[in-house]
Amino acid sequence: MASSSLFSRQHLQLPLPVDDEGIFGPSEVYASSSDSSRSPTPHGVLRSLPASIPEDCDDQGYLDPDYVIFHAPAADPIDFGIAITEQDKEYSYEWTGEQHSLSPGSFDKRPFSFLEKELGPSPTWSVDSEPESVNPHRSILKLPDEVLRQVFLSYGAGTDSKPSVRCGPLFLGQICRRWRTIVHSTPELWSSLTILAGDHVCVPRMPLLKAWLNRSKNCPLNLTIVYDGRMLERPGNFGSIDLVSELILTHSSRWHTMCFNYTRAKRLISMLSRIPPWGLPILHNVEISLRQRVAPLEQAPILSSLLSWAPSLRQLTCRGLAGISQITIPTQLTHLDIEGPLSTKDCLALLRSGRQLQDCRFHMEHSQEESLDDSPLLVHPLRSLYISSQEHLGDFFDHLILPNLEDLGISARWTSARRLPPWPQRQFISLLSRSSPAIRSFAVRCLPMSDIELLESLLYMSDTLMNLEVYVVGGGEGGITITETAISALTFNDYHHNLCPKLEQLTLCGCVRAADGLLGGMLASRRTILYSPRDEETHQLRHVEVAFPTTNHCQDVLYFKSLQRGGLQGEVM
């Protein structure tokens, strides 16, 4: 490869040709980044090159893609495969990566290590390049564009969508002309975006924001808009929340997932009120978070109209909205997450209006209760329910029938200034008795429940329960205490019926107050059981997380370490 005059044999420190937002100057020459590591994605991440740039660049200043390192920790190796068709032949490409140590002044001249297998009558063959000799015919340059496109999409999945030259499509487009062409012709890479805006500033700046949205072409958009009126102005930045709203509204027909995080409700209402009727044909998920609450009568009509114009809406999250019960919930919703001043009557009304709800999360704050209808509410589709409340939940339990419930989480929100109401054990047991649900996961947090009441509840879900979580925070006040009685009940015994025989995951945080060694013996009993892989009645414990409130549990820790060598996962401390 021809050497470029831009680089010498000395370790040249290059400035960034563009700023963090990718605005100034063309990104034709790759610039090094001080951010040399990033969190791993499901298929690994591309690792930024070190500050020491090698001289092996082409005449136009691009880096050879052979030098781009695919980085993945040993615990999360890259494992990617895709089948393509090229010239009437079907190929399957796989490759695995290993972590390479890079430091200033050194450069690992190692290409992708990949395996190429031809399917069909021809014999299977593989290539594994040696680090000492780089064969250009075996490098990443030989991979088809479609394979690279899938790699780029996997690299960007789950990462922060804030535009930056250190990650995402702006980073990939700086490697070489071919990669830049692929990135610009892959609209899915530009379909997610996080926008920070104030009254007189926005990040990214408006030119990049417009270019980003144009490159997404007709792809469904996943946008997050964070508005903070306290954001300071920046020199040369002439954006604003008004300009951002005007631009985003022109793409409302492509909204798929929208997250609005605003400090001022009036700004959000002003934007939502300008959405044209039936202008949200593919909107699937909406999240609205307000840090300054708005009057119920002011928001209800606008939000109700917004939801009615989204026939594909399935998920709704609202935080900090007052009077949410006045909003008409679409009947097609399947996921609902509400945090605000909800009463029991409000929660029941939301469950009654959402006929297809499968997953509900209610964060109930203090609110004056009203008279309730005595008729029970059958919520047949509901699979998952999470309740966080400061109030007495007896009336809520009394009015529900949940025959298909699988995941149940209950959390008590207590403060030092306000004592928790007593736990409504009788109403809770009545709910389990009349519903007869096959609960697979049960999580409780800071509930004023005794371990005897916990064991009684577990009897109604014993045959199906696979995950049990008990959390106590704040020094153990107001929460469950797991004593010798509960541990003995959970210990496997060959001579009688065992409680929760299918339990595979157990979490006990700050709640165990039993003699040292008892918990370890219980864990061992659930690991050493004799069972057949086809036995549907008994499962081995697979994962455990235990945080003791005191440090005098040395035997329990030794028990766990011994079981860990036998395959038990998790942590005990």
Bridge partners of 289, per DSSP, are 261, 319
Tokens at residue 524, please?
């061992």
Helices (H), 484-553: 484-490, 518-527
Q: Looking at residue 137, what is its pLDDT?
A: 47
Residue with tokens 């919520």: 379
CA atoms within 13 A on the CB side of 248: 31
Residue with tokens 């996080």: 194
Determine if the pTM surpasses 0.75: no
Read off the DSSP letter of residue 117. Answer: E
Contact 375, 327 (CB under 8 A): no
Cis geometry, peptide bond prior to residue 73 (ω within 30 degrees of 0): no
Report the alpha-carbon distance of residue 41 to residue 315 in Å, rounded: 25
Cis geometry, peptide bond prior to residue 421 (ω within 30 degrees of 0): no
Q: Looking at residue 327, what is its pLDDT?
A: 80
Report the alpha-carbon distance of residue 490 to residue 225 in Å, rounded: 48
Instruction: Please give the chain's pLDDT, 573 residues, in tens.
Output: 443 322 222 222 223 333 333 332 322 222 223 333 333 333 333 333 333 333 333 333 333 343 333 333 322 323 333 222 333 333 333 333 333 332 333 323 233 333 233 223 333 333 333 344 445 545 677 788 898 898 888 877 656 677 777 788 888 888 888 889 999 999 999 999 999 988 888 888 889 899 999 999 999 999 999 998 777 777 766 678 999 999 999 999 999 999 999 988 888 888 888 888 888 999 999 999 887 666 565 667 778 888 888 999 999 998 887 777 778 888 899 999 998 778 888 888 889 888 899 999 998 876 555 677 777 888 989 999 999 988 889 989 999 999 999 999 999 876 655 677 889 999 999 999 999 999 999 999 988 899 999 999 999 999 999 999 999 876 545 678 899 999 999 998 875 678 999 999 999 999 999 999 999 999 999 988 755 455 567 889 999 999 998 888 999 999 999 999 989 999 998
Read off the DSSP letter of residue 65. Answer: G
Q: Where are the domains of the chain?
A: 45-181, 191-323, 334-437, 442-573
Q: How is domain 191-323 classified at the architecture level of CATH?
A: Alpha-Beta Horseshoe (3.80)
The C-alpha R_g of the chain, in whole angstroms, comes to 29
Contact 333, 310 (CB under 8 A): no
Q: What angle do CA 191, 209, 205 make, to 5 degrees?
A: 145
Q: Looking at residue 567, what is its pLDDT?
A: 92
Per-residue buried b or exposed e for 464-486, using 16+ beta carbons within 10 Å of the residue's own CB: ebbbbbbbbeeeeebbbbbbeeb
Residue with tokens 């593919």: 282
Contacts of 287 (CB under 8 A, 6+ apart): 258, 259, 260, 316, 317, 318, 319
